[in-house]
Amino acid sequence: MMDSVTWKIGGEAGFGIMSSGIMLSRAFARMGYHTFATNEYPSLIRGGHNVITVRIAKDKFESMNRDIHVLVALNKQTIEVHKNELNEGAVVVFDPKDGEYKPEDFPKPVKLLPIPLRDLVAKGMGDPIMRNTVALGVTVALLGAPFEALSSVISDQFKKKGEEVVKHNVDIAKLGYDQVKEDSMFLAKTAKKEDQLVINASEAIGVGAARAGLKFAAIYPMTPINSLITFLADHAKSLNLVYKQPEDEIAGINMAIGASVGGVRSMVATSGGGFALMVEGLAWGGMIEAPLVIDLGMRVGPSTGMPTYTEQGELQFVIHAGHGEFPRIVLAPADVEEAYQLTVDAFNLADRYQVPVFLLTDKYLNESTWCAPKSVFAGDVVIDRGKLVKEQDLPADGSFKRYDLSGPDGVSPRSVPGMKNGFHYANSYEHDEVGHTTEAADKRIAMAAKRLKKFEAIKKDMMVPQVYGDAEAEITFITWGSTRGPVLDAMKLLNKKSRLIHYSWIYPFPAEETMKLLSPATRLIDVEQNATGQLAALIREHTGILIKEKILKYDGRPFFPEEIVEKL
């Protein structure tokens, strides 16, 4: 009996690899298990080797582990590419028509389970693509779960196509289920506490945005944020919002800023290359003090790089992007629960301080599928529109100053076009309090100081770093964003006292709290998915603390807890 099983399915693109993993996750999440799925695929329009890995456990975990317990090979290439990842005693499910294998073909002892996938599909009068459905039936039987756990998911997956399609897929899956005569990887039982959602971070951001009052999104497609587009486009009507696919990223950010000036909550989403095109628009938003939320999903760069793989290479980019100096806020969620909550926070912060707020995500976070309690996404959401004025509150004598200098926090009242007595100018030039263009030295200094005052005001909402582990730790890890999970799981494997200081709020940087937390530590280890240690550099810049020991990974693949332990 096993507390945790890691399953991987691989094959050619177009054979339902990704959907198989999601369906398996849903089946076990509904029974109360904790599940997590992450994918890997090449940046090809068609073809290539695709895999998805699913971890299923009776207790909550934070990341994917390295060793595979069940490998389902829909082609010969899957075995050749992934056989070195197999744990001792792993089960290898394959179709004998793809080749015959012997135990000595593998580096570790494994159990070979030949299943006539093609023949079973033919027996069920199905299409060749349905081999994945047979494989799901085999897997559920291997793990000792009732077939109904899978059939209910199949029913939900295909119900829009009609009862006949549902029944056909259920029957095909049952053929696979019946092939297994013993429970080779029997999972320990778990108690279901509450209903769970199986959701990726892009979808969680979409839910958070909708609940925070999003009304306009202009997003040009780009890996890895495309699931957010799908969510917004599919639900735009029911959520009473507008999703617009612009001709490019330049148009996207300008449209979103225009919507913001028009008084509605708006956002854009992109990756590094797309954001490079948005930078001039970002600076314009900084000049006119327009609230805006930007979801930047990081991937491997520079340039096109490896567009379907993950990295944390844009931290310094978003902090310094845009010509001139203007405030912004940078948040970095670690999982889907934070992706949802920080999105709600991002919209409130953007309105409260009239600044751009970044959600700094990555491919691993955006496209991996996590399970989270439904209650996380329930409950009341507080919406704070900041100093957005009502028409009746505007001065009747026309003396409204959109960029009023008198406020102590640098945030001035904001009107919406069409409001009587709320007229002002909003263009890219330096301006006076009404928005008139000016090049006067004293007015330039005053207006720049007004904008930069917001840095001090933002401090009252600054989130301090999260602390996990032993206060008397021998080792203190430092992470941001999605690296938190692998480090937390690595700490469970260590035989030393350890602690984690994690940053979800990146900028403005919480320097004072960082000094308190890091100064007493004896051994600091920075863990990041980039080649230069960008958070460590930010810490050095703001506190003077030099973190000499770093565990950096930049091959496009996420961290495994085991490799973090091995590098100590």
| Helix residue ranges per DSSP H, 335-483 | 336-353, 363-367, 441-458
What is the predicted pLDDT for the residue at 185? 65
Q: In a 3-state reduction of DSSP, which class is residue 83?
A: helix
pLDDT tens digits, residue range 123-139?
Answer: 999 999 999 999 999 99
**H/E element, 202:** helix 201-211
Which residues neighbour 231 within 8 Å (Cβ) at sequence distance 6 or greater?
A: 202, 203, 206, 207
Q: What average pLDDT does the segment 467-489 reach?
A: 96
- Cis preceding linkage at 224, omega within 30: yes
Confidence label for 1 from pLDDT (cuts 50, 70 and 90): confident
Token pair recorded at residue 425:
């100018």
Q: What helix, strand, coil percent values describe the chain, rounded to 5?
A: 40, 20, 40
pLDDT tens digits, residue range 325-368?
Answer: 999 999 999 999 999 999 999 999 999 999 999 999 999 999 99
What is the predicted pLDDT for the residue at 371? 94
Backbone angles phi, psi at 44, to 5 degrees: -120, 145
DSSP state of 463: P
Cα 232 from Cα 235, distance rounded (Å) = 5
pLDDT exceeds cutoff 80 at 184 = no
Cα 231 from Cα 523, distance rounded (Å) = 43
How many other β-carbons are positioned within 10 Å of the β-carbon of residue 217? 30
- Residue given tokens 């090979």 in the structure block: 73
Yes or no: say if 245 and 255 are a contact pair by the CB < 8 Å rule.
Answer: no
Q: Which regions of 299-429 does DSSP assign to beta strands (E)?
A: 329-331, 356-362, 369-373
Q: What average pLDDT does the segment 150-174 reach?
A: 95
CA torsion 52-57-60-63 (nearest 10°) is -30
Q: In a 3-state reduction of DSSP, which class is residue 501?
A: strand
Which residues neighbour 136 within 8 Å (Cβ) at sequence distance 6 or greater?
A: 20, 23, 24, 150, 173, 176
Q: What average pLDDT does the segment 22-26 reach?
A: 97
Domains along the chain with CATH numbers: 4-177 (3.40.920.10), 198-377 (3.40.50.970), 387-461 (no CATH), 466-566 (3.40.50.920)
Yes or no: say if 482 and 364 are a contact pair by the CB < 8 Å rule.
Answer: yes
Strands 68-73 and 86-94: parallel
CA nearest neighbour of 134 among 93, 164, 99: 93
pLDDT exceeds cutoff 80 at 177 = yes
Q: Give the orientation angle of helix 226-239 with respect to helix 201-211, to 10 degrees.
A: 30
Yes or no: say if 381 and 211 are a contact pair by the CB < 8 Å rule.
Answer: yes
pTM: 0.96
Q: What average pLDDT does the segment 244-257 reach?
A: 98
Strands 356-362 and 292-298: parallel
- Residues of the chain with pLDDT > 70, as a percent, come to 99
Cα 384 from Cα 409, distance rounded (Å) = 16
- Residue given tokens 């793989």 in the structure block: 309
Backbone angles phi, psi at 544, to 5 degrees: 85, -5
What is the predicted pLDDT for the residue at 365? 97
Cα 46 from Cα 480, distance rounded (Å) = 34
What is the predicted pLDDT for the residue at 183? 59
Cα 448 from Cα 443, distance rounded (Å) = 8
Cα 95 from Cα 350, distance rounded (Å) = 54
- Cis preceding linkage at 302, omega within 30: yes
Instruction: Name the average pLDDT for the chain.
Output: 96
- Residue given tokens 């290539």 in the structure block: 48
Yes or no: say if 452 and 411 are a contact pair by the CB < 8 Å rule.
Answer: no
**H/E element, 257:** helix 249-261
Backbone angles phi, psi at 312, to 5 degrees: -120, 60
Cα 365 from Cα 343, distance rounded (Å) = 14
Cα 228 from Cα 245, distance rounded (Å) = 12
User: Could you tell me the maximum CA-CA distance found in the chain, to the nearest angstrom?
Assistant: 88
Cα 417 from Cα 50, distance rounded (Å) = 50
Cα 435 from Cα 362, distance rounded (Å) = 37
Q: What average pLDDT does the segment 512-521 reach?
A: 95
DSSP state of 400: -
What is the predicted pLDDT for the residue at 129? 92
Yes or no: say if 255 and 246 are a contact pair by the CB < 8 Å rule.
Answer: yes
CA nearest neighbour of 29 among 40, 37, 17: 37
**H/E element, 402:** none
Confidence label for 47 from pLDDT (cuts 50, 70 and 90): confident
pLDDT tens digits, residue range 429-465?
Answer: 999 999 999 999 999 999 999 999 999 999 999 999 9
pLDDT exceeds cutoff 80 at 45 = no
